[in-house]
Structure 1
Amino acid sequence: MSERLEDIAAAMVATGKGLLAADESTATIGKRFETIGLASTETSRRDYREMLFRADEAMKAYISGVILYEETLFQKAADGTSLVDVIRAAGAIPGIKVDTGAKPMAKFPGETITEGLDGLAARLKTYYDAGARFAKWRGVISISDTLPSFGAIKANAQALARYAALCQEAGIVPIVEPEVLMDGAPGTHSIERSQEVTELTLRIVFEELNDARVSLEGMILKPSMVIDGKKARKASVADVAERTVAVLKRTVPSAVPGIAFLSGGQSTEEATAHLSAMKAGYDLPWGMTFSYGRALQTEALNAWAGKPENVAAGQRAFSHRAQMCSLAAKGGWKKELEKAA
């Protein structure tokens, strides 16, 4: 495959394909494993991710790339093959989460700043040598009647831009992920408030990317959808789609090759329905697809349940969900297809 950033970015948002976010931290995947009564060990984490990556039907047809946690980037499958090579053999691109998490931001109560810039240039070289060709950094934006502050948005946007510039210098495509939380405190905000904050956040992010001389053609945007708070009334699918597309058209330059949405606390079906409505209903200047974690994995995790004899069942569940997301990325998902697939 071409090593040009533009070509890698285009491949990441190829029609009908999307990104599997398998970059859960050790702590996060431990919580997921608790739901199926499985202890989180290096081996169990490896076995789970290998189960997903070897689901050939899903990986070859519906997955363009996989975002990995650092541990996974250097792990080997049970047969000794590196997991990076397993992903490549399926025709997908290996990627890596490079931030070290959102931490409380000094002087900004209730807001966070994402850390991980110190030493990032050296780490990116190591990741590139290990096979990663794209990276991900998540900036977290809290939302309420009074949050976010301009200062917190600005600081997170600057960090995203600095990270993106370092990635491109290393030959790695940056996924720029500014997430406006739907499930933060208190989680009661309206969809109108979500639209206002998302638009402001994206405007500032692209100003900082421009100032940092980031090549828009060699990056992917991973935004949250415009959606009301977790504890608020639910807007219709059509309303979410209309508001999200309106914000994107006002803020995202057409030079950006693709937008890969995060699911951000939505249910599996909500994330699928919203993506399909956007793709089906609007003329868009960018590729549009999914970059889902829980919304791709929950059914597979439950079907697998940590048991070797359930690997095939887990892979079937993953393939079904990936197919539904693929249909959504082409604007062709319908609720009745859930049962038919």
Structure 2
Amino acid sequence: HGARFAKWRAVIDIDARRPSAGSVKANAHALARYAAMCQEENIVPIVEPEVLMDLDHDINRCFEVTEYVLKSTFQALYEMRVQLEGIVLKPNMVIAGRKAKVQAGVDEVAEKTVQCLKNTVPSTVTGIAFLSGGQSDIDATAHLNAMNAMHALPWNLTFSYGRALQAAPQKAWSGKEENIEAAQAAFYKRAHMNGLASLGQWSRELEDK
């Protein structure tokens, strides 16, 4: 029917004991089978292993679990003979849980996320499009910008945000027809800010213009 991309999202809960090895292995296998079937039909698979940020884990626990999940996923992709040049990886950033007492700063999130990716993602993967995972609009933009501004990377780092793109236009719209233009303007601004962040050219000052 003309489809060119497909997406499979595997959700990984995280706390002191989760995820289990069985859960990670099962999700990695499912992602790899899906990716292989997509490529057989000339569809680009978006591979999305998401470690959630809902609870109170710190950033180091997120690093540990994300590294494990990505290593397992790429091992499964290799075993299924998936061509890594033909996938888009859609991972979470390495970030403290929403309920954590200590929230990491922008630079620490960028450093730990890039290090985790370097530890796990082959350079043959051409595109990494982050999910926002419940981050605020500004945080999601700032983290992406810091990664691109601070590091020389073997992959293109960009965004595939849901909430961090939609929240502002939905608030501006509020279900009222007279607010449609304001909602469109809000959506354009968030897309533009994140576009700049994908080039490492965003700054907080631009948000006020």
Q: Specify if TM > 0.5.
A: yes
CA distance in 2, matches of 1:133, 1:141: 26
- Provide the residue aligned with 2:156 in structure 1: 287
- Provide the residue aligned with 1:257 in structure 2: 126
- Provide the residue aligned with 1:211 in structure 2: 79
Deviation at 1:132, TM superposition (A): 2.1
Under a length normalisation based on structure 1, what TM-score does the superposition of the two structures give? 0.60
> Aligned residues, how many?
208
Matched letter for residue 37 of structure 2: L
- Provide the residue aligned with 1:162 in structure 2: 33
SS at match of 1:213: coil
SS at match of 1:143: coil
Give a deviation string over 1:30-80, Cα, whole Å, max 9, x none.
xxxxxxxxxxxxxxxxxxxxxxxxxxxxxxxxxxxxxxxxxxxxxxxxxxx
SS at match of 2:15: coil
- Provide the residue aligned with 1:59 in structure 2: none
Give a deviation string over 1:87-115, Cα, whole Å, max 9, x none.
xxxxxxxxxxxxxxxxxxxxxxxxxxxxx
- Provide the residue aligned with 2:22 in structure 1: 151
- 1:311-322 equivalences in 2 (<5 Å): 311-322=180-191
CA distance in 2, matches of 1:189, 1:201: 16
SS at match of 1:137: strand
Matched letter for residue 143 of structure 2: H
Matched, 1:193 2:64: no
Give a deviation string over 1:278-324, Cα, whole Å, max 9, x none.
00000100111000011001111121222233221111111011111
- How many percent identity over aligned positions? 62
Deviation at 1:170, TM superposition (A): 1.3
Which of these two proteins has the greater Rg computed from alpha carbons? 1
SS at match of 2:119: helix
Deviation at 1:336, TM superposition (A): 1.2
- Provide the residue aligned with 1:271 in structure 2: 140
Matched, 1:333 2:202: yes
1:202 to 70, 74, 97: 70
Under a length normalisation based on structure 2, what TM-score does the superposition of the two structures give? 0.97
SS at match of 1:269: helix
- Provide the residue aligned with 1:101 in structure 2: none
Give a deviation string over 1:169-190, Cα, whole Å, max 9, x none.
111100000000110xxx1111
Matched, 1:134 2:5: yes
CA distance in 2, matches of 1:163, 1:312: 39
- 1:1-341 equivalences in 2 (<5 Å): 129=1, 131-183=2-54, 187-232=55-100, 233-340=102-209
CA distance in 2, matches of 1:141, 1:260: 18
Matched letter for residue 255 of structure 1: T
Structure 2: gaps of 5 or more residues: none
Give a deviation string over 1:247-297, Cα, whole Å, max 9, x none.
100110011011000000111111000000000000100111000011001
Deviation at 1:246, TM superposition (A): 0.3
CA distance in 2, matches of 1:288, 1:299: 23
Matched letter for residue 91 of structure 2: P
Structure 1: gaps of 5 or more residues: 1-128
- Provide the residue aligned with 1:35 in structure 2: none
Cα RMSD of the aligned pairs, angstroms, is 0.8
SS at match of 1:250: helix
Matched letter for residue 170 of structure 1: E
